[in-house]
Amino acid sequence: MRLRRFGRGLALGLVLVLGATGSLPGTTGAWAQRTDYVPPELEGIEIQDRSGEFLDPDLEFVDENGQAVRLGDYFEPGRPLIVQLVYFECPMLCNLVINGFVDGARDLAWSPGREYTVLSVSFDPKDGPELAKLKQANYGKALGKDGVEEGWHFLTGDSESVKALSASLGFPYRYMEKTGEFSHGAGIFVVTPEGKISRTLYGLSFPSNTLRFSLMEASEGRLGSPLDKVVLFCFRYNADQHRYTLVAVNAMKLGGAATALGLAAFLGVLWSRERRRTRSAGQGKT
C-alpha cells in the first residue's frame, strides 16, 4: 500500500515539476511537446504569487506541543519567516519540498530561531500535535543546527484557519476522495517580520543563495553582512526562472563606482606624494 502511494506521489510530483518548468531537462521531440498536459487532479492548484499581501495574524493553530497559538505570535521584529504548506503523511511531494529546504538551509550561516523562523503548516485536518512533534524532531535532526526546535514549528489546525492561510498565500490544494490524498503545488513562502508575503519560491530545490537573498529582502536590510548587501544589489529574483539572476546594469553601476573610488584613491596618493615632494624641495632651499 505504501509503495503504491509513493508511486502515485512520484508521478504527480513529476508532472507538477514538468508543468512548472515546461519540459524535462534533456528531452526533445514528442515527449517535450506533451509536457504542457495537466491531469485533472492537478488542474486549478497552481501556486499564485501573492507578494505584497499580508497574512492574518489572528489565524489560530495548534503547535507541536499541543498549545493554541496565533499566526501573529511568530511575527517578531527583525526575524523573517519561511512558511511551508504541507501535510505530514504526504507520500512524496511534501517530503521533497521540505528536504529541498533542508538541503539549502543547511549551508546557511543562519539558523531557525536565531535569524529567522520556519512554519510548516499542515492542511490535513487529521494531522495533530503528536505527528507534528515527530516531524519536528526528524527534520530538526536532518537540518543539524543547534536550537532548531525553538525556531521551526509544525502547526495543525481546523480547516477554516488553514484555508484562510492557503488563500492568502495563493496555495490551493484539493482532497482526492479516491486515493485519500491531497493534490497540491510545490513551493515555499518568505514572509516579512510584519507578516507581508515577500517572496514565493517555486519548485523542489531552494539553494542556499536563494534562501539567503530572500531572507535578506524580507528582513528589510537587517540580515546580511555589508558584502552580502553589495552582492544582492547585483542580483534580482527572476520569476520566470525561479531564481536570482545577475542584473547587468546594477553590476555595471557597482563596477563603475568601484572604478571611480579606485581612481580617486590613486589620484589622492599621487597628490599626497607630490605635496610632500614640493614641501621637501622648499625646505632644501632654505
> 58 and 149 in one domain?
yes
What domain count does the chain have? 2
Q: Which amino acid, one-letter code, is at 220? A: E
Give domain status of residue 125, yes or no.
Answer: yes
Give domain status of residue 219, yes or no.
Answer: yes
> 172 and 61 in one domain?
yes
> 260 and 175 in one domain?
no
How far apart CA 81 and CA 88 sit, in angstroms, is: 20
The pLDDT score that the predictor gives to residue 179 is: 87
- Do 261 and 253 touch, CB atoms closer than 8 A? no
DSSP 250: H
Please list the rounded mean pLDDT of every run of 10 residues in the chain (286 residues).
48 46 40 50 81 96 97 95 96 93 95 96 96 96 92 95 96 91 94 96 91 89 55 58 55 42 46 59 57
Give domain status of residue 240, yes or no.
Answer: no
Task: From 63, 78, 44, 69, select the one nearest 166 (Cα to Cα).
Answer: 44
Find cell 555595471 and name the residue: 252
The pLDDT score that the predictor gives to residue 77 is: 92
Give domain status of residue 145, yes or no.
Answer: yes
> 210 and 251 in one domain?
no
> 189 and 140 in one domain?
yes
Give domain status of residue 81, yes or no.
Answer: yes
CATH code of the domain containing 161: 3.40.30.10
**Signed CA dihedral, 53, 54, 56, 62: sign only:** positive
How far apart CA 108 and CA 212 sit, in angstroms, is: 7
How far apart CA 95 and CA 102 sit, in angstroms, is: 10
Ranges assigned E (strand) in the chain: 60-62, 68-70, 81-86, 117-122, 152-155, 173-176, 181-184, 187-191, 197-202, 235-238, 243-246
Give domain status of residue 21, yes or no.
Answer: no
Range of the domain at 71: 44-235
Q: Three-class SS of residue 165?
A: helix
The pLDDT score that the predictor gives to residue 165 is: 97
> 226 and 132 in one domain?
yes
Last residue of a domain, one of 235, 256, 278: 235
Q: Three-class SS of residue 153?
A: strand
> 219 and 258 in one domain?
no
> 273 and 148 in one domain?
no
> 99 and 75 in one domain?
yes
pTM over 0.75: no
> 186 and 90 in one domain?
yes
> 155 and 273 in one domain?
no
> 224 and 130 in one domain?
yes
Give domain status of residue 196, yes or no.
Answer: yes
Give domain status of residue 6, yes or no.
Answer: no
